[in-house]
Chains A and B, each alone.
Chain A
Amino acid sequence: MHRLEEIWMTVSVGILIIFMAIVGYQTFSLGMGPPSHAETIDPQKVEETAPFDDPGVKKIGDNEYEVVMTLQSFAFNPSNIEVPAGAKVTFTMTAMDVTHGFQLPGTNINAMVMPGHIQKISHTFDEPGEYLIICNEYCGVGHQAMSTTITVK
């Protein structure tokens, strides 16, 4: 192998290893892994299964909230959520029909919500304001209308 080829390949593979080390550190040490919750649910009995029999915003600690949410073409339930500034909010979600997306533009909240699976994602809302919640996975003819807001006061 030519000398320059050797250098090029060593640098390439070296960058790949450094990259993996950084992603690994963020994922496993800093807990920044992607949303990957493993619980399942019967997608045809969501409304009879706890906690989704009672969707809504629940206070679970000091300025800590859980939003139990169902997604269905073409709406989020609950909608137009309000939380105080600085609140740590965990969204616990499932889909009642097809696959939906859960995205808050301007934050790192982005998760797939699928029928049969429970998905969780957390975020601390430090900045007050009205955030947009949108479905970012095509779910049918009204997909573009599937949105709501979360207001941080």
Chain B
Amino acid sequence: MEQPLKETIRQNPKKILGVNPDDAKVALAYLSVSFVSLLIGGILGLLQGLERAGLMQLPSWLNYYQVLTAHGVLLLLVFTATFTIGYQYANLSHSFGGLLAKVRKLAWIGFGLMIIGVVMVATMIILNEASVLYTFYPPLAAHPVFYIGLVFVVLGIWSCCFGVFINYRHWRKNHPGQPTPILAFFAMGVFVLWLFASVGVTIEVLTLIPWSMGIIETTNVMVGRTLFWWFGHTLVNIWYLVATSAWYVIVPKIIGGHHFKEKLIRLVVILLVILNIPGGFHHQIIDPAISIPIKYLHVFMSLAIAVPSLMTAFAMFAVFERTGRKLGGKGLFGWLKKLPWGDVRFLAPMIAMISFIPGGAGGIVNTSNQLNQVIHNTMWVVGHFHVTVGMSVVMTFFGICYWLIPYLAKRVLTPKMSKIGVIQTIIWTIGMTIMAGSMHIAGLFGDPRRTSDTSYGGHEIAASWMSYELIFGIGATFLMIAVIIQVYAVFNMMFFAPKGHTEFPVAEPEEGEEPAPMWTERWGLWIVLLLAVVAMAYVVPIADMIMNAPPGSPPIKTW
């Protein structure tokens, strides 16, 4: 009987000792970079909002497209990636009772590589050598250092991917016949998707480096664009998977309930991993050189993601109702009142989940052939991803901070800080609703995205959307205030909050629930299926783009 006790101490030392301080350092380092990026990226967002609103003129040494490039790179790449790694590594450390020393080392190597990469990329943007926006579509050609920096960022992410795989495999080996803890299963899904998502863009960037240096004369712009979206849209779903890990596993614990059937949760993760990558094609619905039947196939492939999302909606509301009724909620909707609306750890992810309803509906518009043609490259799209990313994903991330950071820093969430969090959540919600709502409407009138000034010499058609742009600026101002509060809260909880013990809130299954089926652990098979779906989606169009390619394009700098 000595064995089980030893096992408990080895597997679950946190129960006795709390978080492993070395693992906490890894997570806190990533989270610090994340929130510094949010602050800078947020300021740049406000500058754009005010410029579009006509309330401010950027100085001559800083142009709108430079600001836009930096805003995209900092928030879409750096903020989300570093948050994801910090949070997922904390989940892994908690689930496995500490990381392996070599895995921790890989996480630090990843951290170093990403910092080097981001510094290279940011320097080129500041020098106005890379005003190519976050999508860097060739033949717009940035300085080679910009692309080399991107390679470093990807290598950093890969280092973290392999860390997760090694630790996962190690745990499975030592626990034969046992399914992994659910948060570790999510982490595996996130990093598998990340690895395969980044393959496309890595190939693209590696061809752009010699091209931007003049070693290769021309590049295939169509293939570059397609490889970018292979990555670009999958990235969105990586964030979404990260957010759902908190929805399924953390939020039920915070409201005092149990998580939904683990079999369904695992099925959702597996479906999101397998079905995701082809979604990128709907960004190219109005491109030339992709045939109409292929585009139709991709409408279907993009929409397939709706199935696991609807399963998630069902499961989450089932958990809320069950918990609310257990707490004494009566009648058809009485259980809603029993949920802890005043707790920021619940309120923020709850609003995030609700906003996924309009977010998902807008996404269906974007993926469908004819509707896409109405809103393609208009402000509608910008409004859409500020709802999905800015609310569904980021508000979940914010909500996570209020327990994760005190837990890692061995401090506590004070009632005052919780109240500040609630206020932050409300201001952010108001700001995003105002800004994204007006962006959607302006987009329906035809207001183009990624354009510094859309007055077009005062043309009357342009006048129809100009008043909405003023509202973008107002929304952006609210958001800036919320960013400042959030960054303050994060660093306060990290360094100044009272010392103490904070729980890592992981929900348990309902009583009598069957354990997760072992077939869900067949990651080799899920990866084969993922690759099969990628092959179905990409082999024909990419082969067509290469076989029937026009003469390529030389690098061009138009800024």
Within the complex, which residue of B137, B286, B299 is in contact with A23, where a contact is CB–CB below 8 Å? B299
Interface positions of B from 280 to 296, Cβ below 8 Å from A:
284-292, 295-296
A97, B139: Cβ atoms closer than 8 Å: yes
Given A38-B288, A114-B221, A144-B453, A5 and B295 contact (CB-CB distance below 8 Å): no
- What residues of B have a CB within 8 angstroms of the CB of A106 in the complex? 445-446, 461
Q: Does B174 contact A (CB under 8 A)?
A: no
A23, B451: Cβ atoms closer than 8 Å: no
Closest CB of chain A to B303's CB: distance in Å? Answer: 6
A residues neighboring B (CB under 8 Å): 4-5, 8-9, 12-13, 16, 19-20, 23-24, 26-28, 32-38, 40-45, 73, 97-99, 101, 103-106, 108, 110-119, 130-132, 134-144, 147, 149
- What residues of B have a CB within 8 angstroms of the CB of A137 in the complex? 137, 377, 450
Given A42-B551, A43-B553, A136-B377, A105 and B461 contact (CB-CB distance below 8 Å): yes
Q: Does B378 contact A (CB under 8 A)?
A: yes
Given A12-B306, A116-B553, A141 and B65 contact (CB-CB distance below 8 Å): yes
Within the complex, which residue of B286, B300, B456 is in contact with A35, where a contact is CB–CB below 8 Å? B286
In Å, the complex CA distance between A67 and B301 comes to 35
Interface positions of B from 367 to 391, Cβ below 8 Å from A:
368-370, 372-374, 376-378
Q: Does B559 contact A (CB under 8 A)?
A: yes
Within the complex, which residue of B295, B307, B457 is in contact with A33, where a contact is CB–CB below 8 Å? B295
Q: Does B311 contact A (CB under 8 A)?
A: yes
B450, A40: Cβ atoms closer than 8 Å: no
B292, A36: Cβ atoms closer than 8 Å: yes
Q: Does B9 contact A (CB under 8 A)?
A: no
Number of interface residues of B (CB under 8 A): 69
A115, B139: Cβ atoms closer than 8 Å: yes
Given A43-B551, A97-B139, A23 and B369 contact (CB-CB distance below 8 Å): yes
Given A26-B370, A43-B553, A136 and B449 contact (CB-CB distance below 8 Å): yes
Interface positions of B from 194 to 222, Cβ below 8 Å from A:
220-222
Enumerate the 3 nearest inter-chain pairs by beta-carbon distance, A residue then B residue, closest first.
A105-B446, A140-B558, A116-B550
The residue on B at minimum CB distance from A120 is: B288
- What residues of A have a CB within 8 angstroms of the CB of B445 in the complex? 105-106
In Å, the complex CA distance between A144 and B97 comes to 55
B550, A43: Cβ atoms closer than 8 Å: yes
Closest CB of chain A to B261's CB: distance in Å? Answer: 9
Closest CB of chain A to B481's CB: distance in Å? Answer: 28
